[in-house]
Structure 1
Amino acid sequence: MIVSSNGIVGLIGGAAVNPEQMKSVLSFFDNYIAVDGGADHCLRAGLRPAAVVGDMDSLSQQARATFSEILCHISEQDTTDFEKAIARVSAAAVLAMGFTGGRLDHLLSVLNVLGRNRTRRILLLDEADISFLTPPEGVSLALPAGTRIGLMPLDDVTVTARGLTWPITAARMHPTGMVSSSNQVKDPLVEISAKGPLVITLPPTQLGAVLKAVVPAQ
C-alpha cells in the first residue's frame, strides 16, 4: 500500500485537468498521488505528490527527474494505471481528476474499474461533472432544485430514485436499455438506491454535497 488514510486521497491522472480546479480541491485531500502523466500536471502547478504511480510511459523526462525519489514504477500491463493506483490506496474515499477526458476507451476502462469496486468510494471530477458509483446502501443527497443529475447503469440494475422531476421506482436499467441521462432535482433531498452498479453524475459545483453524502464521517 502506497498511501493509507482515514480521509480522502486524491489521484491526479494524465488526461485534461483544469489547474485552478485541481488547486481548489487540495484542501479536501489528506494526501494525493500522481498517476503516470499526472505528475506533469503537478509539476506545472508547483505541487509535490506523495508518490508517482504507473508504468511511466506517459511521464515527461522533466517530471521523471523532478520526482525521481517518489516514483513507483509498475511495469505489468494487465491493468491500467488508474487500476494500479486504486489498488495501492487505502482511504475512506478517492477523488480522481485527470481520468475522464480524451480517449473514449480510457474513459470506459475507468468506468469498468468503478463497476468492479462498488464497495469503495471512488469519485471522478472534471470541469463538467462529479461522478460516482451509488453506494450499496444507497445515498441521500441535499441538492438545489433544478440541479441536473444523470443516472447511468453499468450493468443490469434495479433503481429507485426519489426527489427528481422524473422519479424512478424499482425500474430495471441497463447500458443498452433504460438510462436517465438528464434528470433534474425537484425536492430538497434526493434519495437513490440501486441493486447493481449505477453511476450518478452531477455538476462539479455539487462536490461538497457529494462528499458530505458519500464519505464516512470522521
Structure 2
Amino acid sequence: MTNLSKFEPIVRSNDPIGLFGGGFVGPDDLNLVLSRVKSVVAADGGASVLTESGHIPDAVIGDFDSLDAEAKAKIPSERLFPIREQDSTDFDKALRSVQSPVILGAGFLGGRLDHQLAVLNTLIRRQHQTCILLGEDEVVFHAPPRIRLPVDPGDVVSLFSMRLVTGRSTGLEWPIDGLQFEPDGQMGTSNRALAEVELQMDGPGLLVMIPRAALDPLMQVFLSGQTGRWPVRAE
C-alpha cells in the first residue's frame, strides 16, 4: 500500500480508462465499461462492484473510508493508493490521479443528490480531463472547446452550466449563440437536435447530457483529438 500526496499521478494509459465509484452501477454498466477499456480504476468503495464480479482493479484510489475489508483483501497491496486528506471526494482524488484520452465512469450518478452534485462540480474543476459519466438514460460530460455531438435528429441535448459561460452552436432547435449560461440564470435543459450538432465554447464550465446510446461514437469523437482540451486549472 502506498500513501501518496494528492497530486501524484498513479495510472497513465494511451487507451480509455474505466473508473468505478461506490454509487449505483446499473445491470449493464459493468460489462459496458469493461468492454471498452484496458485499465480499470476504483474510487474507494467502487472496488466492491469489481471484486464481487471477479475483477481486480489496476488501482484503488481514495481515503478508504468506504472500502470494505472483503474487497480490500482481494486486491494486492501494491494496487492500493490511499489519499488521506478530507478536502476532496474520492471521485476527485481518482480523477486527478489518472491520465488518459478518455475516462469512462460508472457508479457516480444516481443515489444521493449531494454526491451527484459533488461529482458534477469535480467534472468542471478537473476541466483538463475528458470524463464521460454513465447515467441510466444519458451520458454526461464537460463540454470541450469544440465538439460535434454524435446525436440524431430529435435527440435531447441538455446543457447545464456550472459557471458563467458563452458559446455558439449549430444544429440545435434553440441555438446558444448570444446567450449567457450561468447556474442561477439561463439554462439549456431539453434542447433538441435538428441535424448534426456542433458546439464551440468560449470557456470551460458547461455540462452536456446526450442519450446513452451515443456513448460509442462520443468516445470516438474524443479519441480523435479534434475537440481540444481546457488547460489544467490552477489549484
TM-score of Structure 1 vs Structure 2, range by shorter chain: over 0.9
Q: CA deviation at 1:64?
A: 1.4
| Separation (CA, whole Å) in 2 of partners of 1:27 and 1:15 | 20
Q: Are residue 110 (structure 1) and residue 94 (structure 2) matched?
A: no
For residue 187 of structure 2, the aligned residue among 158, 179, 193 is 179
For the Cα contact (< 8 Å) 1:19–1:45, is it kept in 2? no
| 1:63-78 correspondence runs (5 A) | 63-69=71-77, 70-78=79-87
Calculate the TM-score normalised by the size of structure 1.
Answer: 0.93
For 1:159, give the aligned amino acid. G
Which runs of 5 or more structure 2 residues have no equivalent in the other structure?
Answer: 1-8, 226-235
- In the alignment, which of 6, 13, 28 is matched to residue 5 of structure 1? 13
Residue equivalent to 1:191: 198
Contact kept, 8 Å, 1:140 with 1:213, in 2: the verdict is yes
The answer to whether the 8 A contact 1:11-1:34 is kept is: yes
Q: What is the match of residue 154 of structure 2?
A: 146
Cα distance, 1:74 vs. partner?
1.6
Residue 207 (structure 1) aligned to one of 195, 215, 222:
215
Greater Cα offset, 8-17 or 68-77: 68-77
Deviations 1:95-132 (A, max 9, x none): 11111222222112112211122232111112222111
Q: Is the 8 A contact 1:135 1:214 kept in 2?
A: no
Deviations 1:139-166 (A, max 9, x none): 1123211111101111111132210122
Contact 2:151 2:210 in 1 (8 A): no
Which of 87, 96, 116 is matched with 2:96 structurally? 87
Whether the 8 Å CA contact 2:164–2:182 is kept in 1: the answer is yes
Out of 25, 32, 57, which is 1:49 matched to?
57
Structure 2 length-normalised TM: 0.86
How far does residue 209 in structure 1 lie from its aligned partner after superposition?
2.0
Q: Distance in 2 between matches of 1:119 and 1:76?
A: 22
Runs of 4+ that moved beyond 3 A: none
> Which amino acid counterpart does residue 31 of structure 2 have in structure 1?
K
- Determine if contact 1:154/1:174 at 8 Å carries over to the other structure: yes
Is 1:128 aligned to residue 148 of structure 2? no
Contact kept, 8 Å, 2:22 with 2:43, in 1: the verdict is yes
Aligned residues: 215
Q: Which amino acid aligns with 2:100?
A: A
* Contact 1:149-1:200 within 8 A present in 2 as well: yes
- Per the alignment, residue 108 of structure 2 pairs with 99
Question: Alignment RMSD, CA only?
Answer: 1.5
Identity over the aligned pairs, expressed in percent?
38
Q: Which amino acid aligns with 2:202?
A: K
The structure-2 alpha-carbon separation of the partners of 1:73 and 1:119, relative to structure 1 and needing over 3 Å to count, comes to closer
Q: Secondary structure at the match of 1:84?
A: helix
What code does the residue aligned with 1:121 have?
T
State the distance in 2 between where 1:215 and 1:125 align. 17
- Which is further off, 141-150 or 9-18? 141-150
Q: Which runs of 5+ in 1 are unaligned?
A: none
Inter-partner Cα distance in structure 1 for 2:193 and 2:84: 45
